[in-house]
Amino acid sequence: MTEMFRDKVDINLTVNGEAVEAQVPVGQHAVDFLRHELGLTGAHASCEHGVCGACTIRVDGDAVRGCLVLAAQLDGSEVWTVEGLSETDEIRDLQEAFVARNALQCGFCTPGMLVSAQELLSQDGVPDRAMIREHMSGNYCRCTGYEAIVDAVESVAQQRAGKAKP
C-alpha cells in the first residue's frame, strides 16, 4: 500500500437523509465507502473508469459516478443512493415500470439506471425517446437491449406529466 492510502481524513456528510461522520483513506472511492463502510450495496463497482454507470449515486442533487469521486470529496455533501431513493418512494413508479416492462434482467445495472432516470425525470419538461436514450447513454446494460428501459422511463415521464399512454 502506498503512503497516500495510509493517510485518512475526517468527513461529515448526509447519506440518505442521515448524518454520517467517518474517517476515510484519502484515496478511497465514494462507491467503495458506501458499499464497504456503510453497507449500501446498491451502487456497484464495475468498470472503475466511469463508463458503465453501475456506480451512479446522487451527490448534492446531481447523478455522478461513484467510482470517479473520492470519499473525501463527499465532505459536506448530501448523498443519495438507490436504497435511499427507494425508501422515500421517490423512484417507486420507475421501479414498477422497470418490472412491468421487463427492463431488467440480472439487475446489476438497474440501480444506476434508476438513479440516472430519476435525474432526467426531475428536470422540467417531458423527455422524448431520443432525450431518454441520450441521458441514459452512460449507463450500460448487458442484458436487456435498452428498448424496455426506454419504454419504462418514457411511460413514467408521461405518467408524471399527466399524459399517460394507454
Which residues partner with 11 through β-bridges?
22
Kindly state the average pLDDT of the residues 123-127.
Answer: 92
Q: What is the pTM of this model?
A: 0.90
Grid cell in block for residue 115: 438513479
Asked whether 103 and 74 are in contact (CB, 8 A), the reply is no
CA dihedral sign of residues 78, 35, 97, 86:
negative
Q: Where are the domains of the chain?
A: 3-85, 89-160
At 125, phi and psi to the nearest 5? 90, 170
Residue % of the chain over a pLDDT of 70: 95
* Whether the predicted pLDDT of 4 surpasses 60: no
Greatest C-alpha distance within the chain = 60
Return the higher-pLDDT residue of 76 and 109: 76
**Residue 108 confidence (pLDDT) above 80:** yes
Superfamily name and number for 3-85:
Beta-grasp domain (3.10.20.30)
Structure-block grid coordinates of residue 106: 440480472
| CATH superfamily of the domain spanning 89-160 | [2Fe-2S]-binding domain (1.10.150.120)
- The number of beta carbons lying within 10 Å of the beta carbon of residue 87 is 13
| Local structure of residue 165 (DSSP, 8 states) | -
The mean pLDDT of the chain is: 92
pLDDT score at 166: 47
| 22-31, 49-58, 126-135: least confident range | 49-58
Grid coordinates in use for 138?
452512460
Does position 158 have pLDDT exceeding 60, yes or no? Answer: yes
- Calpha distance 13→37 (Å, rounded): 14
Please tell me the predicted confidence (pLDDT) of residue 124: 86
